[in-house]
Chain A
């Protein structure tokens, strides 16, 4: 649609069409550079959407591989209840239009191993799931046997069917023997066959792509559980419901099915969860989150692309100034000139948007691949399914195209405003009058509107109005006051004030910026760089004087190299803005990344409390805590119980949200748990923890409690607030009061309650499935962890030191920062391409001047050096502005505890220096070719062509 006016113009105005086409074809190499520079914006937008699509599709894949026909799951508290519910729902199945299948499944987390001849474990999977299901019923479940992944008969007692994930992990196939460890017993099973990871065969609700399942004969788990020790959770008894429709479409009927189930039973079953629709909603949310994340950080590069386009078009107009004057003189109206430029720009925008979309798909593939690797830990690896939604391609193309087109159209409007005689004679435009009425009116309008926005935004803690409102007021004051004060002074003062505000706003009005999302940082970056570039551009002469002094006043190359960027303020400002913006974001990310990764010791101390390592194990076969306590190298061992839970809080808008709960014991508190950020009414952390131990109605939560997504916590709960804890299986609930809030940056802990409190609510399912271990001074925690892993393999023990845990977490975080840096570096390509384009055009524009200089005796080497000095000056200034702003902003944010308390500010000088040097050197390399070309200009040729 947006192309219609251009197509109409091209069809109806052949002269404009010819002019646009021939101008575009006039210099193919430069046209290619223009297209390259502008396509990156589209590719970044498309890329961010493809990242979202791919992650969405990868997670949605789980709907088929891990759930198949399962749409809802009901957790029951016993096999009896499971049986009754299955029968009741089967009756519904016969009548209901919403559901088409009911299936009873019993699952048990267990360790599984392949043993050697001497009984040693050759291969093991500590977190396998033993599934008991009737294969006939499973295959019939949902009406599409292929979607269930179940084949053949139900395994007989003593035999098993293994899912392909587990088979791969253990390296087994049909005929092999494996050993299952559960309830302190071991069960030897012969493998009948391997089934594909699909539907019921791949059954695994939850995050991650893996389903290490093995299927056993009915009754096997009940028999195993008979001799279960007191400290062991029973198997999970589930009833799966399949809605009408395929694995994906079925989720659409979840509401209807839930209503039907509730109506049929007379009440909503306690443990009912919409497994499929939740998984799909999560997939959509993760996809959208990634699209927003990469779209937001990529926005800096998009702005750089827009600046590049503006710069190119202004340069084109300058180069063609006399032609434009002639065209106007021979009768072409200003609208025609705008049309000609716009038509040419439309062609560039179209080609670059098309190519940019293709490049964006490639970028998205690479980014999604790296992101999947980062998120894919060994336990929860996410298998990547590359996907491109045609709607994303269409949106990426459209947004990129419209941004380019708007830029081109607005720039064309501005540059077509030429005085015919001045254009023909290539005379400079006179300086605009100091105070034009139009500028005064615009300034007054901006001040009034922005003032009102600020007045509305600051009291309401509205982050955008708080940050940008005062900035716009200052910007509007410049034209208003320029009647009374010199413009340079005004712009400089306003720019300094804007810089001060944009840097300090987060500290001055912290409430307005609590829980803000990435786009506010994008606005902050844009405001900061715009102000710094305005300041630099208005004071270029002073900057140039300093550089000249440093660079040697006698050097002709320095003199000439500085003369052009100082004289061409607009052009220099545009390149400066591109460089500053991109370098700002890159350095900022580098500093942030380092802030976290260098804090391994303090983070470890933060999350470990008085312990060195933790041992997680299967709830059905937990590691006996007394055995761990009895070791010589162990000083103390706290038994914690982690369990899935649901919470209703004043922030969850009436809905229960999933999180987990942790039961704590006396040893945990005595040994020194993690610190607390807010102890509420208690004198210290110890008192708060002891209160929770003593009172089952109290809890301690982390400030990341119920938070999703990255970044600082949004509206964390406070001491004194009341929340409701519900057991998702039994539906039993309890009111809790928040005693204190921990500021541990790792969401490792659930809401802390006392063991007794948890046991009251969860019954035998509250087992000590996590042990925190304090080792003796002489012991090496890593060795202790390794020994515990070996000793308690049968319990599915996973012992890990806190240091290792923190290091793994930080490594993922660092990798993710690297990914963002890589993505942001695309903006650097725009900046460097921009500098290259400007220098190539500068050579052409100054051909005659270079000829004169050479005629006067200017050596060719000095011409080359002058061009290098010119680009070095602009690049260095941009890099300096970007780096300085990034360091100040990061320092300010860290100082305000935006990323948590006690995070010391440190600059990774080596990394920053590397970034700066690489950017600078690549910028010079981009200038090498035009500089060489300039030095080869023969004076007579240049003068002859020019005259």
Chain B
């Protein structure tokens, strides 16, 4: 089943998708062997949606995220993000586009260890061309909003795992991106901390954030309004569902 086949049940007028992928293929080659990581993926994501991409290990979830966000190149197909065919853009323009309209949350936090929390968060704002003072103010405000007002000047190694991931979320949303990509954002966290981070993301989504989240955790998948299942590089299920907070808040 594809996204096109699974139209939203309650949609009266289809909004212009913020993400639109058609026929995306990606093959990894290693010596004589090649692995079809994505095999003709079609996917549309409307603004404000919370999409959970699920599937077993090695199914192609992270590859899907990387290719659709423009982090990785594709072999075939087209991907439009916010109206831009990202794989047709030069590396420099694609990078600028990414800085202006996307945010990322990774499983391993991936904060820059030599920058403080606030410096990490202001990074995408500066990259997007905001002035240093504005970027700093916005970063501090975002961190305070996420409960890290006391940890602004700490470097990542001085923060707990949950705090680091909250800094990552702050970094992803500080620039008010149109789309946030999250790859197993709770994979390195204990249950309680994971619930806190998911609660945060859910709240942000409730505030209008478009979120595409890769996870293998059923409970987290259930908290999304739409669940896309990937297997062997193909989307095998794309279901809109009423979001549940059970697993997240457990």
Contacts and interface: CB of A to CB of B under 8 A. Distances in A.
A853 B73 CA distance: 17
A940 B72 contact: yes
Given A556-B127, A857-B100, A947 B106 contact: yes
A567 interface: yes
B128 A428 contact: no
Contact of B114 (A566, A861, A947): A566
A893 to B, nearest CB: 41
Contacts of B115: 563
A554 B132 CA distance: 6
Interface string A435-462: 0000000000000000000000000000
Interface in B109-136: 110-115, 119, 123-124, 126-128, 131-132
B59 interface: no
A385 interface: no
Interface stretch (B17-25, B89-97, B201-209, B232-240): B89-97
Interface residues of B, number: 37
Contact of A861 (B92, B98, B124): B92
Contact residues on A (Cβ < 8 Å of other chain), bracket: 20 to 34
Contact of A943 (B73, B106, B112, B127): B106
Given A554-B132, A944-B62, A848 B114 contact: no
Interface in A398-443: 427-428
Contacts of B183: 947
Contacts of A556: 123, 126-127
Contacts of A861: 92
Contact of B124 (A427, A856, A938): A856
Contacts of A859: 92, 95-96
Contacts of A848: 108, 110
A941 B72 contact: yes
A427 B155 CA distance: 12
B99 A857 contact: yes
Given A563-B115, A859-B95, A938 B110 contact: no
Contact of B112 (A852, A854, A860, A947): A852
Contacts of A858: 95, 99, 123, 127
A142 to B, nearest CB: 77
Contact of A939 (B71, B92, B119): B71
A649 interface: no
A851 B107 CA distance: 14
B104 A856 contact: yes
Nearest to B100: A857
Contact of A855 (B67, B104, B119, B157): B104
B226 interface: no
A939 B99 CA distance: 13
A27 to B, nearest CB: 19
A568 to B, nearest CB: 8
Contacts of A943: 66, 71, 106, 110
Contact of B91 (A564, A852, A860, A947): A860
B171 interface: yes
B92 A857 contact: no
Interface in A889-947: 938-941, 943-944, 946-947
A947 B62 CA distance: 10
Interface string B154-171: 010100000000000001
A884 interface: no
Interface string A858-877: 11110000000000000000
Interface in A831-852: 848-849, 851-852
Given A567-B113, A858-B127, A944 B107 contact: no
Contacts of B114: 563-564, 566-568
A860 B124 CA distance: 14
Contacts, number: 93
A428 B113 CA distance: 10
Contacts of A940: 66-67, 71-72
Name which of A556, A854, A857, A940 has the most chain B CB atoms within 10 A of its CB.
A857
Contacts of B69: 855
Contact of B98 (A427, A855, A941, A946): A855
Contact of A856 (B73, B127, B155): B127
Contacts of B111: 852
A241 to B, nearest CB: 78
B123 A856 contact: yes
B71 A855 contact: yes
A512 B81 CA distance: 77
A711 interface: no
A153 interface: no
A377 interface: no
Nearest to A939: B71
A157 interface: no
A553 interface: yes
A427 B158 CA distance: 9
Given A567-B114, A943-B71, A944-B66, A856 B108 contact: no
B110 A849 contact: yes
B77 to A, nearest CB: 16
Contacts of A938: 71-73
A941 B26 CA distance: 13
Contacts of B127: 556, 856-858
A860 B90 CA distance: 11
Interface string B201-237: 0000000000000000000000000000000000000
B38 to A, nearest CB: 12
B188 to A, nearest CB: 10
A856 B71 contact: no
A554 B92 CA distance: 19
Contact of B106 (A553, A852, A854): A852
Contacts of A857: 95-96, 98-100, 102, 124, 127-128
A849 B124 contact: no
A852 B92 contact: no
A858 B104 CA distance: 13
Interface string A558-580: 01100110111000000000000
B176 to A, nearest CB: 14
B98 A853 contact: no
Contacts of B102: 857
B21 to A, nearest CB: 15
Nearest to A946: B108
A851 B108 CA distance: 12
A876 to B, nearest CB: 19
Given A567-B113, A852-B112, A856-B127, A553 B132 contact: yes
A857 B91 CA distance: 10
Contacts of A559: 119, 126
Contacts of B72: 938-941, 944
Contact of A860 (B73, B95, B100, B106): B95
Contacts of B66: 939-940, 943-944
Contacts of A554: 126, 131-132
A853 B92 contact: no
A709 B95 CA distance: 66
B98 to A, nearest CB: 5
Interface string B10-31: 0000000000000000000000
A856 B173 CA distance: 11
29 contacts: A427-B157, A554-B131, A556-B126, A560-B112, A563-B115, A848-B108, A851-B110, A852-B104, A852-B110, A852-B111, A852-B112, A855-B71, A856-B171, A857-B95, A857-B98, A857-B100, A857-B102, A857-B124, A857-B128, A858-B123, A858-B127, A859-B95, A860-B92, A939-B66, A939-B72, A940-B67, A944-B62, A944-B72, A947-B183
Interface of B: 62, 66-67, 69, 71-73, 91-92, 95-96, 98-100, 102, 104, 106-108, 110-115, 119, 123-124, 126-128, 131-132, 155, 157, 171, 183
Given A852-B110, A852-B112, A861-B92, 4 more contacts: A556-B127, A849-B112, A856-B99, A940-B71
Closest 7 CB pairs of A and B: A857-B99, A940-B72, A567-B114, A940-B66, A940-B71, A852-B110, A563-B114
